[in-house]
Structure 1
Amino acid sequence: MRNFHFAGRSTVHAQNAMVATSHPAAALVAVDVMRAGGTAADAAIAASALLAVIEPQSTGIGGDCFALIQPKGEGKIVAYNGSGRAPAAATVEWYLERKINSVPLTSAHAVSIPGSVDAWATILRDHGKMGLDTLLQPAIKAAEEGYIVAPRIAFDWKNGFDKLKNGTNTERYLLPHGKPAAAGDVIHQPELGKTLRAIAKGGRDAFYSGAIAEDMVETLRGIGGLHTLEDFASHATETTSPIGTIYKGHDVWQCPPNGPGITMLVMLNILSRFDLTKFPALSVERFHLEAEAARIAYMMREQYIGDPAQVHVDVAGILAKEFAEEHISKIRMDGLLDLPNVAPPMNPSTVYITVVDKDRNVCSFINSIAHSFGSAIVSNKTGVLLQNRAGGFRIQPGHPNCIAPRKRPLHTIIPSLATKNGRAVMPFGVMGGQYQPVGQTHVLTNMLDYGCDVQEAIDMPRGLHYEGVYQLEDSVPAAIVEGLKKIGHKTTSVVGPLGGGQAIWIDWDKGTLAGGSDPRKDGCALGY
């Protein structure tokens, strides 16, 4: 229980339905949708569409999404992979012939086909009661009539100023008056509003064919892209089954590759062999074990994970006990494992939304344009800011994540769901690029090992061992920082906080919901 003498947030409780997002306006829209009879999926997509306007550094209709949905909180869990593919002409030979050894993050080559809009339509087909014509209205209104910039969004806008100054059409669309938007500013995006109106009327086809697709292709090809109208028209969402592992009596589920959720599951498999409760939640030992588990899991991801439609990914072998045990016996409490330095090519932004409706339909939902403000390429006439997710590809023949025609890049965004005895207990997620597997592990172990409630678990100080350096939030006690240094960790403070998270805990016995939302973002949990 939190100490009310100190600043903080209370866990939000409700009986009927609940949502947690990174922006209060999106949470309110989701609740409004559910009050009007909509499902958790309806609410998530209405919120995601609004965030695609009002949180432009993190998400948009030019990006991708993944989702886990469990009907009634105890039915079959369905995984939706709404990630886009590379153009059909994107062969590794094309890049090597031009001596391009990595994908430039603000080039047309970083733009994979946006998958979000098709995924929204597919999810609504399967789990919605409302259509895009209804659910996009709040987003349309925000784009056309204006929205107020929230503080964390303003922080990111300021940090992205140089990128936006040098982007394609970004100065025109995203730098009002030639400077970053500040908290309290009102922003209008009429071109984006017009595009959303077209999608509301014509559905996903209005985005992937016709004038909108033509403008996106013309924009990209005008700056060297390989994209074609056929690349857009042929895009389709993959519906599949989740992958999972067991931690402390709970099943933890993730979308399968090309999503990176398997990274988090490997971390849990490693940490399950240690009794974390022997150490305080804020301790050198706990932070060290989390870092070592992350280093092993991230090494695995970079070596073995790619698009399973084009390369073999041994999910069962990676999640087997033997894989974790190979490294567990080598972990020391007084030093670091001798592992190769992993330098993933992506460290993007995103939004995560969790929703439980009155019928206990559960939706764990994430939407992203990759790096902050994506590729910094806005389509000429439509106002669509395009992702740079293809920047996550390697240009390295033989690597499982090497770029190839119509291939999906290794992603970073991961919605998660914890169940017990087949019933959903917590749809949750942690945003923040490469931090996401660590963040989800940190939040879950805060709850299952240390007895935190959802808000306390999200609030807890964080660290990310990334590219050989332990990046620590300012809230990590100085004694822990010094202790980590003594056993060999290189440490640094992070400029911005690590990620942002949302979670809803379902208490089936009491018939109640408890929600938490990250103070590192602008959002909140809201229920009724």
Structure 2
Amino acid sequence: MRIKVFVLLILIPVLASAQDRITGRNFASRSEVIGKNGMVCTSHPLATQVGLDILKQGGSAIDAAIAANATLGLMEPTGSGVGGDLFAIVWDAKTQKLYGLNGSGRSPQDLSLDYFKNQGLDMIPSFGPLPVTVPGCVDGWFELHSKFGKLPMKNILQPAINYAEDGFPLTELIAYYWKLSVNRFEKYPNVVDTYTNNGLAPEKGQIFKNPYLANTYKILANKGRDGFYKGEVAKTIADFIKSQGGFLSTKDFAAHHSEWVDPVSINYRGYDIWELPPNGQGITALQMLSILKGYSFRKDEYGTARHLHLVTEAKKLAFEDRAKYYADMQMADVPVEKLISDEYGSERRNLINEERAGSYQAGEISAGETIYLTVADQWGNMVSLIQSNYRGMGSGMVPPELGFMLQDRGELFSLNPDQANVFEPGKRPFHTIIPAFVTKDGKPVMSFGVMGGDFQPQGHVQILMNIIDFGMNLQEAGDAPRFSHDGSSTPTGLSSKGRGEIHLETGFDPQQILGLTRLGHRVTYSPGEYGGYQAIWYDPEKGVYFGASESRKDGNAAGY
């Protein structure tokens, strides 16, 4: 039986091959999109069109990103919405500078660590009222808009309002996840009323309307962010969560604010790679790259056992540090500079055996489902924005007649007081969603992101290596077969599974897979665990933007 399973593993990648292409690599799903005046890349074609329309009306990249995000909250509630959080990195052409926004919400002030202990919980539940934290998305929109917006917020939100009132057709992948979400959450109040057509989840191609969300967006358009955090919306949410046995209150909403932060970077083969500091996991990608830049890779080494082995070992090392050190930096001392330093990267690299898979512990340091979109405009502004409810649609908690589900990010707190990410009142949980940006010689090069929970830093590293090390273009870099490793310690306090497993998409050479097993890796074929990718590349010599959006999602890139 073991032999049969192994043979199946080796044969499956051979069966999945793309159509032959005259240009580019065969695994590419399409050519890059190229535009001179602007580019929008999202996970839904109608959201991409909305963003493009805003650009054509004279809106900035940030205006278009907010409009697209609002549309995705309606059309792809399985991964986003105003019940969730937001992070962004913005290249401002006027100041020639990067800005980072942490739009994540905090835990209820009236909830304590002792409460969970008294309930006999070793982990915060995935669903229900307890993992709900303050939704930070709306405040994030208004912070971005106040600093970089050009059009009135009413204009920006109007396309999403129109679609919510008039209806839109569901796309294939979203319809698939929508049905799973309804089946999972139908036992909770208001879910069927908000997310079904006559009690049934809408199917691919069916028209769906959300008049409740249209009304919520109208409140934002007319009353601004305070209409959400200090008005009837906040009271409705707080009353509902209290009725369900939760702790989120109106004072939690009134106290909420986003935080402008400085992105941090390392240099990888001449490119400056930028991520946001914790409470997100962005610096995990920087730690991995800091380790990997000590190795050289030929352009033809993509997909080899050596390539997959070294990336996996770097991931294991970085994720152990992630589990120990990453947390809300307003409430924990996270040694960011040390973690991403060349010196520390070299220390960690020295632990890797190029001939054998290993298991690791965090380094000793003295001192802790999603949508992604990117937009560029005619003035040279670019925004990398990621937004999520966590676990797909979220917590199951749908306040009455507001049209959205609340996030369950609080699940990612640890209940272990020895961890930096331990639950505390008014604290931001560890976050998986991370936007990224690339500059070269102080100028913007690429805005990109990869959706997919814990996979995201692994995805960032794979995209960057595909382009920088293996010479792929922007579209090829996203379409190339991916791999993912699980089995590392987590910031929630879960212990390491040792060496874990490498999960592969189809398309890898069977001989290279065999080579991985000889290095001591456990390897499995696993579809659907590799997120989704959007990217914009700016070419200053040609004066154009290149856009890419991969085939794993329903979206597209469009420029003009």
TM-score by length of 1: 0.95
Residues 80-120 of structure 1: CA distance to partner in whole angstroms, max 9, x if unpaired? 00000001012211211221221111121111100000010
> How much has 1:6 moved relative to structure 2?
7.4
Superposed, 1:77-92 pairs within 5 Å as 77-92=98-113
Amino acid at match of 1:455: Q
Residues 5-57 of structure 1: CA distance to partner in whole angstroms, max 9, x if unpaired? 87721101111111111111111111111111111110111100100100010
Q: Distance in 1 between matches of 2:130 and 2:166?
A: 33
Kept in 2, the 8 Å contact 1:20–1:517? The answer is yes
Q: Distance in 1 between matches of 2:301 and 2:196?
A: 46
Counterpart selection for 1:362 from 368, 382, 392? 382
User: 2:458 maps to what in 1?
Assistant: 438
Q: Distance in 1 between matches of 2:348 and 2:26?
A: 43
Structure 2 residue runs of 5 or longer lacking an equivalent are 1-21, 363-368, 488-499
Query: Helix, strand or coil: the match of 2:194?
Result: helix
Amino acid at match of 1:160: S
Superposed, 1:36-55 pairs within 5 Å as 36-55=57-76
> How much has 1:279 moved relative to structure 2?
5.7
Residues 347-368 of structure 1: CA distance to partner in whole angstroms, max 9, x if unpaired? xx11111111111011111111
> How much has 1:179 moved relative to structure 2?
3.5
Q: Distance in 2 between matches of 1:74 and 1:438?
A: 31
Query: Helix, strand or coil: the match of 2:201?
Result: coil
Identical counterparts, % of pairs: 37
Structure 1 residue runs of 5 or longer lacking an equivalent are 342-348
> How much has 1:166 moved relative to structure 2?
3.1
Counterpart selection for 1:374 from 390, 394, 405? 394
> How much has 1:339 moved relative to structure 2?
2.1
TM-score by length of 2: 0.90
Q: How many residues align?
A: 521
Residues 226-273 of structure 1: CA distance to partner in whole angstroms, max 9, x if unpaired? 111000111001012111110010111111111111101001101101
Kept in 2, the 8 Å contact 1:244–1:265? The answer is yes
User: 1:453 maps to what in 2?
Assistant: 473
Superposed, 1:12-411 pairs within 5 Å as 12-72=33-93, 75-277=96-298, 280-339=301-360, 349-411=369-431
Query: Helix, strand or coil: the match of 1:398?
Result: coil
User: 1:478 maps to what in 2?
Assistant: 510
- Which one is further off, 284-293 or 453-462? 284-293
Please identify runs of 4+ aligned residues in structure 1 that moved more than 4 A.
3-7
Kept in 1, the 8 Å contact 2:182–2:195? The answer is no
- Which one is further off, 49-58 or 186-195? 186-195
Counterpart selection for 1:469 from 495, 501, 512? 501
Would you say 1:506 and 2:499 are equivalent positions? no
> How much has 1:188 moved relative to structure 2?
1.1
Q: Distance in 1 between matches of 2:58 and 2:310?
A: 45
Amino acid at match of 2:164: A
Amino acid at match of 1:301: R
Counterpart selection for 2:551 from 515, 519, 525? 519
- Which one is further off, 379-388 or 244-253? 379-388
- Which one is further off, 3-12 or 155-164? 3-12
Amino acid at match of 2:460: Q
Kept in 1, the 8 Å contact 2:85–2:135? The answer is yes
Q: Distance in 2 between matches of 1:74 and 1:364?
A: 17
Amino acid at match of 1:388: D
Q: Distance in 2 between matches of 1:307 and 1:82?
A: 12
Structural RMSD (CA): 1.7
Kept in 2, the 8 Å contact 1:164–1:174? The answer is no
> How much has 1:3 moved relative to structure 2?
4.5
Counterpart selection for 1:415 from 435, 451, 472? 435
Residues 423 and 278 of structure 1: is their aligned pair in 2 closer, same or farther, counting only changes over 3 Å? closer
